[in-house]
Amino acid sequence: MSSLRLFTNGFWRENAAMVLLLGMCPTLAVTTSAFNGMGMGLATLVVLLGSNVVISAIAGFIPKKVRIPSYIVVIATLVTLVDMFMAAYAQDLHASLGLFIPLIVVNCIILGRAEAFASRNGIGPSILDALGMGLGFTTTLFLLGGVREILGNGTLTVFEYKETVIRYLVFSPESVSPILVMILAPGAFITLGFFIALKNYIDGARST
């Protein structure tokens, strides 16, 4: 597989959220705003990058029977690091993502890439794979969060750090009432369903 194809794999063909349907817990739970989705995606990306690098480097030493616990130890260490860094430098985002940051440990994307890709490939391809998968996941979460935020709250939050807030008002809640359910759990399922349908529709149209 060419390097470019390896990188773009995670964006479309094997998009973690829309095709592999991995990492559903953060995908559905924290995409209440575009920025939350992006923050979650980036946190996952950092952990994925670290774990892919470390695991592809040490895969040769790990006995087959204990590989999953070993991977989890590596992933948990990285998640703890990310958790502490976010608590220190991005407190608001850390507070709004809450429990879902520690839960990255059990995110199937990371363990899945470790088992299916990093443990069988060198460090270079593993980095590309992690970047593609992580950025593809981040993009999907960002779009998912954006759609839900616009429909459910009437705003689009692109960036939020301390005093710097980039938030667009799509429509004012006074004139048009937002569809509250879209930022609740059912809205996440419905939006993701339509995302997948749209992707399949585009794929179908391209293949014919």
Partner 1 sequence: MEPRSFTVSYAPHVHDGSSTRRIMWSVFGALVPAAAVAVYAFGLDALRVMLLSTILCVAMEGVALLIMRRDPAACLDGSAALTGFLLGLTLPAGLSNGIIVVGAFVAVIVAKQVFGGLGHNPFNPALTSRVFLLIAFPKQLTTWPVPRGLEDIKEYMGLAVTRTTDAVTSATPLAAIKEHAQRAMPNIQLNDLFFGVHTPGSIGEISALALLLGAAFLLYRRIITWHVPVATLATVAVLGGLTHLANPAKYADPVFHLFAGGLFIGAFFMATDYVTAPVWPLGKIIYGVGIGLLTMVIRLWGGYPEGISFAILLMNAATPLLDRYTVPTPFGSRKPDKAAPGQAGGES
Residues at the contact surface with partner 1, assessed by CB under 8 A = 176-177, 179-182, 184, 186, 190, 193, 197
Minimum distance, C-beta of residue 181 to partner 1, in the bound complex (Å): 4
Nearer to partner 1, 84 or 197 (CB): 197
The per-residue DSSP string of the chain comes to --HHHHHHTTTTTT-TTTTS---HHHHHHSTTSHHHHHHHHHHHHHHHHHHHHHHHHHTTTS-GGGHHHHHHHHHHHHHHHHHHHHHHH-HHHHHHHGGGTGGGGG-HHHHHHHHHTGGGS-HHHHHHHHHHHHHHHHHHHHHHHHHHHHHHHSEEEEEEETTEEEEEESS-TTTS---GGGGSHHHHHHHHHHHHHHHHHHHHHHH-
Minimum distance, C-beta of residue 168 to partner 1, in the bound complex (Å): 20
Minimum distance, C-beta of residue 73 to partner 1, in the bound complex (Å): 40
Nearer to partner 1, 98 or 186 (CB): 186
Nearer to partner 1, 4 or 184 (CB): 184
